[in-house]
């Protein structure tokens, strides 16, 4: 896992490549990789190293049973321009060398955008898992990535019915679009027997009743004043209930400068592996987040979730789940309401459509059929 030198020397015209750059990508990819392996499809994973910390990436390969990557680009962090430039250069070298039949990308991170741009220029077909999600907020870098990626992808795998409407409004060819459900939920279904809060609570010294917070979005942490408002609100929540904060490397320094420091009621910990983190979430009375995936995971686990964002590209977590949008100003009151039991549970009483643990096989069937119908 130490660079493009691990790439096999010969081209493999039957190869399907998966480009993964951040924790949510790994979770979404694992069910697809498994299902394609069951179908006998030859595959490889490119780990871009966008999440460069071991706890942000390598442990997820172990937790999710993903195979060793054929290449690790190790791009690390940086501004959007610098990171994307490094991704473009690294991915071009690997994709040109391997010339895969299909490249599969996931979500909305810079690795996803760079892979789509490289493949479009090299005329390599692509598939986007989680197509059609929209926040309609172009101030979010992820929203820009989503729109560009969907415009250039050859196969569009939508996780929710609203995504179909967005793709249709943007003129996507219906023949390219498939409603497949959410592969992140496949991974959660598979992990459920291992999600025991007790071991991680014991390891962290967490009390019986606690909340969890994850915060890293640029809109929340990059501006010092905004970060200070958010931290003040989080500190108020910690006065209501002990709070565990697995802190993402992105923005860690800014949040600390804004006053997010450990206290008797606020435990700041390093990023956790997939099973440890979801075990902690499963036992929590409340989750505060600005993450997209956590909104979905808390909906599945029926844990109250307060998302500190003005919008979400995952509205099904509100209509079918436990998620609520809040601002820093409204967060403490919303937390108090949730903890009082007056705003808990799934409003609709059911999970979103096709959240049944079978999305990976659905995606694999489409890819296998596509490969059969597009033989070179």
* Residues designated as active site: 216
Q: Residue 263 has which token pair?
A: 């206290």
Could you give phi then psi for residue 218, rounded to 5 degrees? -55, -40
Helix (H) or strand (E) holding 129: strand 126-131
Q: d(Cα 255, Cα 224) in Å, to the nearest integer?
A: 8
| Cβ atoms of 295 and 323 closer than 8 Å | yes
DSSP class of 16 = E
Residue positions counted in the chain: 376
Residues 6 or more apart in contact with residue 192 via CB below 8 angstroms: none
Q: d(Cα 53, Cα 71) in Å, to the nearest integer?
A: 16
Q: d(Cα 90, Cα 109) in Å, to the nearest integer?
A: 16
Q: d(Cα 207, Cα 280) in Å, to the nearest integer?
A: 11
| Cβ atoms of 127 and 153 closer than 8 Å | yes
Q: d(Cα 347, Cα 72) in Å, to the nearest integer?
A: 43
Return the bridge partners of 271, or none. none
Q: d(Cα 51, Cα 340) in Å, to the nearest integer?
A: 37
Within 10 angstroms of residue 189's Cβ, the number of other Cβ atoms is 16
């Amino acid at each position: 896992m130490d660079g493009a030198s691990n790439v096999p020397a010969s081209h493999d015209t039957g190869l399907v490549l998966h480009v993964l750059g951040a924790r949510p990508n790994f979770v979404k990819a694992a069910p697809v990789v498994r299902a394609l392996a069951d179908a006998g499809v030859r595959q490889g994973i490119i780990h871009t190293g966008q999440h460069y910390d071991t706890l942000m990436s390598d442990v997820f390969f172990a937790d999710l049973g993903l195979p060793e990557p054929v290449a690790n680009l190790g791009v690390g962090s940086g501004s959007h321009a610098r990171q994307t430039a490094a991704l473009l250069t690294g991915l071009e070298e690997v994709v040109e060398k391997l010339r895969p039949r299909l490249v599969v990308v996931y979500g909305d991170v810079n690795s996803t955008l760079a892979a789509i741009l490289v493949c479009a220029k090299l005329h390599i077909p692509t598939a986007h898992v989680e197509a059609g999600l929209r926040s309609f907020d172009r101030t979010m870098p992820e929203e820009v990535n989503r729109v560009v990626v969907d415009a250039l992808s050859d196969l569009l795998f939508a996780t929710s019915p609203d995504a179909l409407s967005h793709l249709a409004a943007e003129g996507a060819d219906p023949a390219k679009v498939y409603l497949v459900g959410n592969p992140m939920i496949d991974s959660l279904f598979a992990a459920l027997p291992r999600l025991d809060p007790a071991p991680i609570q014991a390891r962290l010294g967490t009390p019986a009743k606690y909340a969890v917070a994850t915060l890293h979005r640029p809109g929340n942490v990059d501006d010092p004043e905004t970060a200070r408002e958010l931290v003040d609100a989080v500190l108020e929540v910690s006065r209501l209930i002990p709070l565990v904060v697995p802190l993402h490397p992105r923005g860690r320094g800014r949040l600390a400068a804004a006053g997010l420091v450990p206290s008797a009621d606020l435990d700041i910990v390093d990023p956790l592996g997939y099973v440890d983190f979801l075990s902690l979430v499963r036992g929590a009375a409340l989750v505060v987040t600005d993450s997209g995936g956590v909104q979905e995971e808390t909906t599945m686990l029926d844990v109250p979730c307060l998302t500190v964002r003005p919008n979400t590209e995952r509205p099904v977590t509100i209509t079918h789940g436990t998620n609520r949008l809040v601002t820093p100003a409204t967060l403490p009151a919303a937390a108090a309401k949730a903890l009082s039991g007056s705003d808990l549970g799934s409003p609709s009483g059911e999970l979103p459509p096709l959240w049944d643990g079978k999305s990976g096989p659905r995606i694999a069937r489409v890819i296998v059929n596509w490969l059969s119908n597009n033989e070179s």
